[in-house]
């Protein structure tokens, strides 16, 4: 069976990116007009921004509206329950309501899905594949999202949820399960448990494809699972509020933007869209009629890279999850993320602990990386500083401190600047 080529939405996915953007602009006009007329909070948002629905004609026009961060949505729902003035249809047009931590309530309109079927097809799931869906079915939408998507694809499934590993193993064997949906780390646990039982997952199970999301997928985790099961593992990116936003194809190298939503990368401070390759907040506009989210700030960081892909899909690729916005510190005009700093410091095995400290001197930012090392010397200091300049694109000074000086609180960047 060919699991590596083809498209679920032949016409959509193969269309040039410009044509896809034109189509999105047309759909955007419709959703803005509908939301402005039916969702009081969207009407108020446009009014406060001095924008009439007809002023939003292109995707670029979206930047006239502010980003609504997830935390703001929680406040809006608390102040104006239950949906914060964002519901744009009568209740008889609502199928389900999900509750995520916050709390935040996400209504799902009739016939409105989350688009994961496109991602599952790209991952290699095919009609007739017996599947297990190990995402939870209670309160939060993940279980339902994939239940829906597998049904659309024509894949029978067992709604296992995050059930007992032994039972998952029994189901994998007895039903000849070909597809797994859930977290890769959980699949790895299942495989390891099976090995303890004397089984060889690659030989004794018929698993062909696994789709994972909701956690980062390091190469080491992916290859462990792929080797253990002799299956292909692909990942997607989405949120509880938005559904599928991007997914890997067989060629990997990032996640193609899904055709079902407008994904922008925006400056986390100003909300203005950033260019290709720049790291910023993932901001989403959905075409949903029931619960139209307009420039919803996910709080997740990523970047979009343009370029051709061997699979034939024409949409650019999201680089994957690069951290959370609330961990960002802006130093010398650049956003600095703990993960970037950790990545840069990992190259020096002599370094045992470090903490970057942002301070202010003569009205300028100073970034000092207080560092404990086994053999601190001038040569190592120079090499670290060079690498930091390369990776962070801003200068940082290394300051040696004695072993045991730094607090053990896991904090990577500390902002000690005072603003008067």
Place of tokens 């400056």: 267
Among 41, 311, 369, 388, binds Zn ion (CB under 5 A): 311
Which CB sits closer to Zn ion, 250 or 383? 250
Which CB sits closer to Zn ion, 307 or 404? 307
Which CB sits closer to Zn ion, 208 or 313? 313
Q: Where are the alpha helices (DSSP H) in 80-177?
A: 116-123, 142-153, 165-174
**Which residue in 320, 325, 384 sits closest to 350, CA to CA?**
384
The stretch among 39-47, 71-79, 237-245, 305-313 that binds Zn ion (CB under 5 A) is 305-313
Which CB sits closer to Zn ion, 160 or 259? 259
Q: How far is the CB of 247 from Zn ion (least distance, A)?
A: 9
CB of 248 closer than 8 Å to CB of 255: yes
251 near Zn ion, rule: CB under 5 A: yes
Q: Alpha-carbon torsion 84, 87, 93, 96, what sign?
A: negative
CB atoms within 10 A of CB 362: 5
DSSP-derived pairing of the beta strands 255-257 and 243-247: antiparallel
Q: How far is the CB of 219 from Zn ion (least distance, A)?
A: 18
Beta bridge partners of 104: 100
Which CB sits closer to Zn ion, 251 or 322? 251
CB atoms within 10 A of CB 387: 15
Q: How far is the CB of 118 from Zn ion (least distance, A)?
A: 12
Q: How far is the CB of 319 from Zn ion (least distance, A)?
A: 14
x/- map, 231-250, Zn ion, by CB under 5 A: ------------------x-
The stretch among 100-108, 206-214, 304-312, 318-326 that binds Zn ion (CB under 5 A) is 304-312
328: DSSP letter: -
Q: How far is the CB of 308 from Zn ion (least distance, A)?
A: 9
Q: Which two tokens stand for residue 403?
A: 């072993």
Among 309, 366, 394, 406, binds Zn ion (CB under 5 A): 309
Which CB sits closer to Zn ion, 277 or 343? 277
Q: How far is the CB of 248 from Zn ion (least distance, A)?
A: 8
- Please measure the distance between the N-terminal and C-terminal CA atoms of the chain and give it in whole angstroms: 66
**Which residue in 202, 206, 232 sits closest to 217, CA to CA?**
232
Q: How far is the CB of 225 from Zn ion (least distance, A)?
A: 21
Which CB sits closer to Zn ion, 56 or 311? 311
51 near Zn ion, rule: CB under 5 A: no
CA torsion 346-352-355-361 (nearest 10°) is -100
Q: How far is the CB of 257 from Zn ion (least distance, A)?
A: 11
CA torsion 413-391-268-87 (nearest 10°) is -100
Which CB sits closer to Zn ion, 21 or 173? 21
Q: Residue 295: which H helix or E strand, with range? A: none
x/- map, 146-185, Zn ion, by CB under 5 A: ----------------------------------------
Q: Which two tokens stand for residue 358?
A: 């942002």
Which CB sits closer to Zn ion, 212 or 288? 212
The stretch among 85-93, 303-311, 337-345, 394-402 that binds Zn ion (CB under 5 A) is 303-311
Q: Burial letters for 178-208: b for 16+ Cβ neighbours within 10 Å, e otherwise? A: bbbbbbbebbbebbebbeeeebebeeebbbb
CB atoms within 10 A of CB 118: 24
- Applying the rule CB under 5 A, the residues between 312 and 351 that interact with Zn ion are 313
Q: How many residues bind Zn ion (CB under 5 A)?
A: 5
Phi and psi dihedrals of 193, rounded to 5? -65, -40
Q: Where are the alpha helices (DSSP H) in 263-401?
A: 338-345, 378-392
Q: How far is the CB of 311 from Zn ion (least distance, A)?
A: 3
Which CB sits closer to Zn ion, 202 or 309? 309
Q: How far is the CB of 101 from Zn ion (least distance, A)?
A: 33
59 near Zn ion, rule: CB under 5 A: no
Beta bridge partners of 96: 108
- Applying the rule CB under 5 A, the residues between 252 and 271 that interact with Zn ion are none
Which CB sits closer to Zn ion, 181 or 246? 246
The stretch among 84-92, 132-140, 310-318, 354-362 that binds Zn ion (CB under 5 A) is 310-318
CB of 35 closer than 8 Å to CB of 68: no
Residues that bind Zn ion (CB under 5 A): 249, 251, 309, 311, 313
């Amino acid at each position: 069976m060919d699991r590596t080529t083809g498209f679920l939405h032949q016409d959509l996915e193969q269309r040039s990116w410009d044509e896809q953007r034109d189509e999105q602009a047309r759909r955007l006009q419709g959703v803005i007009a509908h939301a402005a007329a039916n969702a009081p909070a969207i009407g108020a948002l446009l009014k406060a921004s001095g924008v009439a629905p007809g002023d939003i004609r292109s995707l670029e026009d979206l930047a006239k509206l502010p980003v609504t961060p997830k935390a703001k949505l929680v406040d809006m729902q608390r102040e104006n329950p239950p949906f914060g003035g964002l519901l744009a249809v009568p209740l008889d047009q609502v199928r389900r309501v999900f509750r995520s931590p916050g709390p935040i309530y996400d209504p799902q309109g009739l016939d409105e899905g989350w688009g994961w079927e496109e991602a599952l097809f790209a991952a290699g799931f095919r009609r007739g594949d017996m599947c297990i869906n190990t995402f939870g079915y209670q309160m939060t939408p993940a279980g339902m999202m994939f239940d829906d998507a597998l049904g659309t694809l024509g894949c029978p499934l067992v709604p296992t949820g995050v059930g007992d590993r032994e039972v998952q193993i029994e189901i994998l064997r007895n039903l000849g399960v070909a597809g797994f949906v859930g977290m890769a780390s959980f699949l790895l646990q299942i495989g390891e448990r099976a090995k303890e039982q004397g089984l060889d997952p690659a030989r004794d199970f018929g698993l062909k494809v696994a789709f994972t999301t909701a956690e980062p997928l390091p190469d080491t985790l992916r290859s462990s699972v792929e080797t253990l099961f002799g299956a292909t593992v692909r990942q997607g990116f989405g949120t509880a509020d938005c559904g599928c936003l991007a997914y890997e194809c067989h060629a990997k190298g990032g996640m193609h933007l899904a055709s079902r939503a407008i994904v922008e990368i925006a400056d986390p401070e100003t909300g203005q869209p950033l260019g290709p390759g720049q790291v910023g907040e993932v901001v989403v506009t959905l075409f949903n009629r029931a619960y139209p989210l307009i420039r919803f700030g996910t709080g997740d960081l990523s970047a979009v890279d343009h370029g051709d892909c061997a699979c034939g899909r024409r949409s650019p690729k999201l680089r994957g999850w690069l951290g959370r916005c609330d961990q960002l510190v802006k130093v010398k005009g650049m956003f600095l993320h703990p993960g970037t700093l950790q990545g840069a410091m990992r190259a020096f095995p002599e370094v045992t602990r470090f903490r970057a400290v942002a301070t202010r001197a003569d009205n300028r930012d100073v970034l000092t990386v207080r560092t404990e090392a086994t053999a601190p010397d001038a040569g190592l200091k120079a090499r670290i500083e060079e690498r930091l300049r390369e990776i962070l694109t801003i200068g940082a000074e290394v300051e040696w401190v004695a072993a045991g000086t730094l607090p053990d609180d896991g904090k990577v960047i500390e902002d000690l600047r005072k603003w008067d």
